[in-house]
Amino acid sequence: MTQLALVIDLNVCVGCHACVTSCKQWNTSGAAGPLFDDRPYGENPTGTFFNRVQTYEIGQFPNTETLHFPKSCLHCEDPPCVPVCPTGASYKRAEDGIVLVDYDKCIGCKYCSWACPYGAREFDEQQKVMKKCTLCVDRIYDETLPEAERKPACVLACPTSARLFGDVHDSESEVSVAIRENGGYPLMPEWGTKPSNHYLPRRKTRHKIHKDELLRVDNPLKKEDIRHEIRDNVSLDDWLM
Amino acid sequence: MHEAAKALAEGRTEVKNTTCYMCACRCGIRVHLRNGEVRYIQGNPEHPLNKGVICAKGSSGIMKQYSPARLTRPLRRKEGSERGEAQYEAISWDEAFNILEERLGRIRATDPKRFALFTGRDQMQALTGLFAKNFGTPNYAAHGGFCSVNMAAGMIYTIGGSFWEFGGPDLERSRLFVMIGTAEDHHSNPMKIELSKFKRNGGRFISINPVRTGYSAIADEWIPIKPGTDGALLLALIHEIIKTGLYDRDFLTQYSNSAELVNMDPNSSEFGMFVRTEVPEEEGCFDPQNKLWWDRNGNKPVICRAKGADPRLLGEFALSDGTPVKPAFQLLLERVEDYTPEWAADITGIPAVTIRRLAHEMGIVARDERIELPIAWTDVWDQEHQSVTGNPVSFHAMRGLAAHSNGFQTIRALSILMSILGTIDRPGGFRHKAPFPRPIPPCTKTGTGPQDVQPNTPLNGMPLGWPADPDDLFVDDDGNPIRIDKGFSWEYPLSVHGLMHNAITNAWRQDPYAIDTLFIFMANMAWNSSMNTDEVRKMLNDKDESGEYKIPFLVVADAFQSEMTAFADLILPDTTYLERHDVMSMLDRPISEFDGPVDSVRIPVVPPKGECKPFQEVLIELGSRLKLPPFVNADGTRKYQNYPDFITNFETAPGSGIGFLAGWRGKSGEKSMKGEPNPNQWKMYEKNNCVYHYHLPRSYQYMRNWNQGYLQWAQEHSLTRYDEPINIHIYSEVLQKFRLAAQGKSDGKQPPAHLRKRVETHFDPLPFYSEPLEAQLTDKQRYPLNAITQRPMAMYHSWDSQNAWLRQIHTYNFLYVHPTTARAAGIEDGAWMWVESMHGKVRCLCRYTEALEPGTVWTWNAVGKAAGAWNLDGSANESKQGFLLNHLISEELPASAAGAHLSNSDPVTGQAGWYDVMVRIYPAAPGEVRETFPQYPTMPPLPGTPKRRRWQSYFAGRFGKNS
């Protein structure tokens, strides 16, 4: 069984928000759109975004880490948002595991967003329906697109290619290999939701300097030793008997 | 989803290629249109710069296109209204052109320098510069003086190239990458692409920055540093690398002036100059190979690079006539003698042990992880090499180093560090991009005196150039400036990008003279692009006793309503990047790659909104009406139908074969770089992703300062005049010439008495550390903290608060303060506070952060706005909680022995010292109003600006029921 998902590499994410607005622009004019913006030029603007980046500081100066954390629907294998939906609008697709909302069935009761422990759902105050990441379901199967572009808009946009997309149930897929080899992890596994999206942790490259590497025989300073004029100097030759 | 899917299916879709302009990066984009409206902007996967990726700004281009801040009609300030009140009436383009033709024609016929043209981040300096030169005014510059001119000048005067457009770190092969200071807004997508690959390939990334944000977040090691002290760190690194012998001796002897002998006779007029054997046969802007080495084999002087000679880098010698001499490297060693890691630790806040480890790491990686590529090449001395080698240590820095008044010498130090590690134009190190490397300094020169500015005559010389000598300065017989910004004068001799940040103040004070018309294109000089914003706004509105404005006529061309447009007498509506033709030209700042020259274009994907007219068309129309030589035929009739026609047919000289675009030249597009105009050139760019990429042979891709094949190729294709070697200036004779003049030891132009000391001090032929000028003149007991800005990756300067999507990411800004520092001042997290410098104060919101050197406070640049600006609602957060640090920063230094009105800038280059300001912080009183200070009256919308939507549900050009 296929389970499509995103794997996000926190080791290279610089928090540029490319995924946030590339998602917005694709989806607002796509099958899941439009995505509402309230007070776009006024006080406290707000709007529907399927994907957001949060930034955290970890540790105390000078040992501080700054972590950028992109978050969207995790397309859980056991999504708590689905059983709570009274109309069946919230559903998980059998064929690829994508969790979607059928706007025609949604009554805007928000049960699903209360049930989601990740805060990944976005209510459209204009249309009064719940919206969320679709993994760009209107791109990934579109055969009019070149094959390389049948990916979510955020994955195509990401300048650091921190976002990988594929089938986490296929053990040989790029995403499964990345999770396996880099210690990929799901968010809050204790909730039992089995999120399909995974995150790859920070990895540090360090350089160990060995003392004997510092001064080598070919040190260029040796070429600069000045030979002083010694002819007139008094030496031990004049003293030792 | 059904309704949306149906609407999509009904739409007529098409995809057009052009180039992004949401920042200065110039990524290739594919704009998807549905029924002619923008539906999706995708990174072009076939573009060499961004390879398909796109950033947050690029992805939000739609919201710029449909911004309510769009100017759509030419506007004239209403009779009787004051500047700044933003009261306008719409006029026709013909009326606007008539006003300009009459006024500018009169100025040109009398005193062309009374017309000043200053432009922002425009990417068309080749055209705007051509216009200014042919108008005959010296008063032209773009934004470089307040951006990163120190980075350009410091590196180009040392290695003949610089970062970003000119060159960059070869992260593909580098093993250690060190980024110093904020650099997020330059070359951003390519840098992100490469940084990620670099990390995944196991490279080690060290970030040196007072703040850990942006790219520093993913650094393997973050080294916090106090602002403005980078020079001290770099000099200590050089000290340690030399002391431990971790420098690349072979590289330095052959490819730099390290081994060349300097005259040390203090009584000689040649003191501090290289000793020369003979007079060169030909003079030009290149270094003749007539200097001396001290050969260790024969223990005597020989001509430099003599076959079989092995020069001393260290020591002290005497020539046969008794002249004492030292190799330049010996002088460098002496210079850094006292710059120990312990010395630097006190200044930078970085422990000495860390500085030492950093130096060792750089040196060992450079030495022991050497790359050897099987590429045969020949150097300019006819020496054949079987391989290209490189030392895989690379660096990147931009404004963080540049925007300090000690930045030029800091960047000289960085260039020297990169050079002693042997990393210049070699794999894994720094690599050039065409048309760089260029001679040190490049050949272009300005006028040199008042005689070069004449009525109805093009300027003699270029408006901006690269002085090599005091005699190249643009000053009168008394040493006074010719330019309104005092560029190329003794105050800022190497101000190679001008000083736009002083243009308004000087024009207002009528010092050095009064001007008539100030023409500003695409620069927000009434807000975030000016220092001392509040006072500059008053100057723009100030009148003399007769009731005449001190700057009599102010023209602003821009696509958007902003704080600046409110002050204009005449507003000219520009198009957006999706509506116009543009060229990223080899004559300007192209998007070249390491492997060869690349230029690119924009081609309109949607029609102009309202009466918007591309600024280029405005210049060509004005140039034709004013009969400026490049724009008219011999009989005075208009030469070019429009901008695309100009780009196709303009040549730098009749028959030169060099024009704005390098690709598909020749009658049928068969030539490149050089060739006759091709009537179908635009079409060919359009068919080829709007980009032309010339791939150099592999043997021409490295060591280009000394690569015979490359230099001859560059000469043949007119990228450069000479195919002489471009040796690295470890020791700068150019700087020494200015110092000798300041000491009264040379015959040519001399500085005025009050500037002698300043020039003598700062024109040091070797880098040195001095505290930034502002800090030297600040009471640091009272103002103990440094205040700086960083660049948010999701916004470009002030451009994006009008953008409905991007402003939801950065709606307003906090002042970030370390908790210890904030608590000591009694300020709580999230509370209102004051930040105050000796120039002004701002009320803002505090946010605690641990990712910050505790002696520094910082905020995002240019998120704060004046009320109503960019057609935001008067209650928008940008003007109520957002703030601008510029109010704390002066454009001029406090009076000192060197003068009363010196720019707050680097004394060598005139680079604005944005990051030099010192501040103190204290809590806002309990009863104070909960909004930022200062506040300004709300700007009204202008005639023709679109209505502000109260809400929107954007769908491919439609905005929901309310539009």
- Confidence band (pLDDT; 50, 70, 90) for B633? very high
pLDDT tens for B898-954 read 999 999 999 999 999 999 999 999 999 999 999 999 999 999 999 999 999 999 999
* B950/A161 CB distance under 8 A: no
* A16/B818 CB distance under 8 A: no
pLDDT value at residue B9: 65
- Confidence band (pLDDT; 50, 70, 90) for B279? confident
* A64/B312 CB distance under 8 A: no
Taking only Cα atoms into account, the Rg of chain A, rounded to an integer number of angstroms, comes to 29
pLDDT at residue B348 tops 90: yes
- Confidence band (pLDDT; 50, 70, 90) for A218? confident
* B59/A18 CB distance under 8 A: yes
CA distance B649 to A58: 58
pLDDT value at residue B11: 77
Chain B neighbors of A139, CB-CB under 8 A: none
B67: nearest CA partner in chain A: A41
User: Alpha helix locations (H) across B688-840?
Assistant: 708-716, 733-742, 756-762, 773-776, 819-824
Chain B neighbors of A65, CB-CB under 8 A: 212, 217
Query: Of A66, A157, A206, which is closest to B212 when you measure between CB atoms?
Result: A66
Pick the residue of A11, A29, A68 with the most B CBs within 10 A to test the interface with B by mutation. Answer: A29
Per-residue pLDDT, averaged over B224-229, amounts to 98
* B53/A41 CB distance under 8 A: no
B869: nearest CA partner in chain A: A41
pLDDT value at residue A213: 87
Supply the ipTM of this predicted assembly.
Answer: 0.96
Report CA B157 to chain centroid distance, whole Å: 15
Of B234, B213, B946, B124, the residue nearest B610 (C-alpha):
B946
Query: Of B55, B224, B811, which is closest to A45 when you measure between CB atoms?
Result: B811
Size of chain B in residues = 963
One-letter identity of residue B912: A
Q: B235 to chain A nearest CA, in Å?
A: 19
Size of interface A-B (CB pairs under 8 A): 256
CA distance B424 to B730: 12
pLDDT value at residue B963: 45
pLDDT at residue B364 tops 70: yes
Who contacts B569 (Cβ-Cβ below 8 Å, separation ≥6)? B76, B77, B83, B553, B554, B555
pLDDT at residue A108 tops 60: yes
Cβ atoms of residues B389 and B248 within 8 Å: no
Per-residue pLDDT, averaged over B486-496, amounts to 98
pLDDT at residue B962 tops 80: no
Chain A neighbors of B34, CB-CB under 8 A: 29
* A159/B880 CB distance under 8 A: no
* B4/A205 CB distance under 8 A: no
Mapped onto helix, strand or coil, the DSSP state of residue A57 is: strand
Cβ atoms of residues A175 and A97 within 8 Å: no
pLDDT tens for A157-184 read 999 999 999 999 999 999 999 999 999 9
Query: Of B249, B315, B808, which is closest to A45 when you measure between CB atoms?
Result: B808
Pick the residue of A46, A125, A207, A213 with the most B CBs within 10 A to test the interface with B by mutation. Answer: A207
To the nearest 5 percent, what fractions of chain B are helix, strand and coil?
A: 30, 20, 55
- Encode B242-305 in three state secondary structure: HHCCCCCHHHHHHHECCCCEEECCCCCCCCCCECECCCCCCCCCCCCCCEEEEECCCCEEEECC
* A18/B193 CB distance under 8 A: no
CA distance B236 to B356: 8
Of B847, B922, B915, the residue nearest B881 (C-alpha):
B847
Pick the residue of B189, B196, B299 with the most A CBs within 10 A to test the interface with A by mutation. Answer: B196
Per-residue pLDDT, averaged over B719-747, amounts to 96
- Confidence band (pLDDT; 50, 70, 90) for A232? low
- Encode A105-147 in three state secondary structure: CCCCCCHHHHHCCCCCCEEECCCCEEECCCCCHHHHCCCCCCH
CA distance B424 to B431: 6
Per-residue pLDDT, averaged over B333-361, amounts to 98
Cβ atoms of residues B51 and B65 within 8 Å: no
Helix (H) or strand (E) segment spanning residue B538: helix B533-540
Chain A neighbors of B873, CB-CB under 8 A: 39, 41-43
Q: A241 to chain B nearest CA, in Å?
A: 36
Size of chain A in residues = 241
- Which tokens is B856 given? 């520094």
Of B336, B150, B142, B164, the residue nearest B228 (C-alpha):
B150
CA distance B189 to B168: 13
* B59/A25 CB distance under 8 A: yes
The residues pairing with B582 across neighbouring beta strands, listed in sequence order, are B602
* A156/B42 CB distance under 8 A: yes
The residues pairing with A167 across neighbouring beta strands, listed in sequence order, are A4
Of B381, B420, B282, B383, the residue nearest B725 (C-alpha):
B381
* B62/A25 CB distance under 8 A: yes
What's the CA angle centered on B553, arms B552 and B559, to 5 degrees?
Answer: 150
Q: B315 to chain A nearest CA, in Å?
A: 7
Interhelix angle B341-348/B230-243, rounded to 10 degrees, is: 160
- Which tokens is B753 given? 């008495």
Query: Of B212, B849, B955, which is closest to A33 when you measure between CB atoms?
Result: B955
Of B533, B462, B473, B470, the residue nearest B504 (C-alpha):
B533
Query: Of B214, B361, B802, which is closest to A14 when you measure between CB atoms?
Result: B214
CA distance B868 to B882: 13
User: Alpha helix locations (H) across B496-532?
Assistant: 500-509
Who contacts B929 (Cβ-Cβ below 8 Å, separation ≥6)? none
Per-residue pLDDT, averaged over B235-246, amounts to 97
B224: nearest CA partner in chain A: A62
Q: Poorest-confidence range of A126-130, A234-238, B470-474?
A: A234-238
CA distance B565 to B816: 31
Chain B neighbors of A64, CB-CB under 8 A: 212, 222, 850-851
Give chain A's largest Cα–Cα span: 114
Domain boundaries, chain A: 4-81+134-200
Which domains occur in chain B, in start order? Answer: 2-54 (3.30.200.210), 75-145+443-576 (3.40.50.740), 160-435+726-731 (3.40.228.10), 579-614+622-698 (no CATH), 777-923 (2.40.40.20)
pLDDT value at residue B456: 98
* B68/A41 CB distance under 8 A: yes
pLDDT at residue B878 tops 70: yes
Who contacts A230 (Cβ-Cβ below 8 Å, separation ≥6)? none
Chain B neighbors of A38, CB-CB under 8 A: 951
pLDDT at residue A237 tops 80: no
- Which tokens is B600 given? 């690119």
pLDDT tens for B685-729 read 999 999 999 999 999 999 999 999 999 999 999 999 999 999 999
Query: Of B40, B196, B804, which is closest to A160 when you measure between CB atoms?
Result: B196
pLDDT value at residue B196: 98
pLDDT at residue B497 tops 50: yes
Chain A neighbors of B349, CB-CB under 8 A: none
> Measured between alpha carbons, how far is residue B371 from residues B368, B417, B426, B755 in Å?
9, 19, 9, 48
Q: B527 to chain A nearest CA, in Å?
A: 19
The residues pairing with B178 across neighbouring beta strands, listed in sequence order, are B206, B395
Question: How crowded is the C-beta side of B113, counted as CA atoms within 13 Å?
Answer: 24
pLDDT at residue A229 tops 60: no
Query: Of A39, A103, A159, which is closest to B193 when you measure between CB atoms?
Result: A159
Selected residue with higher pLDDT from A228 and B759:
B759
Phi, psi of B877 (to 5 degrees): -60, -30
Q: Which fold has domain A4-81+134-200?
A: Alpha-Beta Plaits (3.30.70)
* B960/A205 CB distance under 8 A: no
Chain A neighbors of B247, CB-CB under 8 A: 220
Chain A neighbors of B872, CB-CB under 8 A: 41-42
CA distance A14 to B188: 11
pLDDT at residue B6 tops 70: no
- Encode A151-184 in three state secondary structure: CCHHHHHCCCCCEEEEECCCCCCHHHHHHHHHCC
CA distance B319 to B322: 5
DSSP assigned state of B955: B
One-letter identity of residue B194: E
> Measured between alpha carbons, how far is residue B401 from residues B179, B233, B798, B885 in Å?
10, 12, 22, 18
pLDDT tens for B157-194 read 999 999 988 999 999 999 999 999 988 877 899 999 99
CA distance B5 to B289: 71
Chain B neighbors of A204, CB-CB under 8 A: 220
B38: nearest CA partner in chain A: A29
A52: nearest CA partner in chain B: B809
Chain B neighbors of A67, CB-CB under 8 A: 217
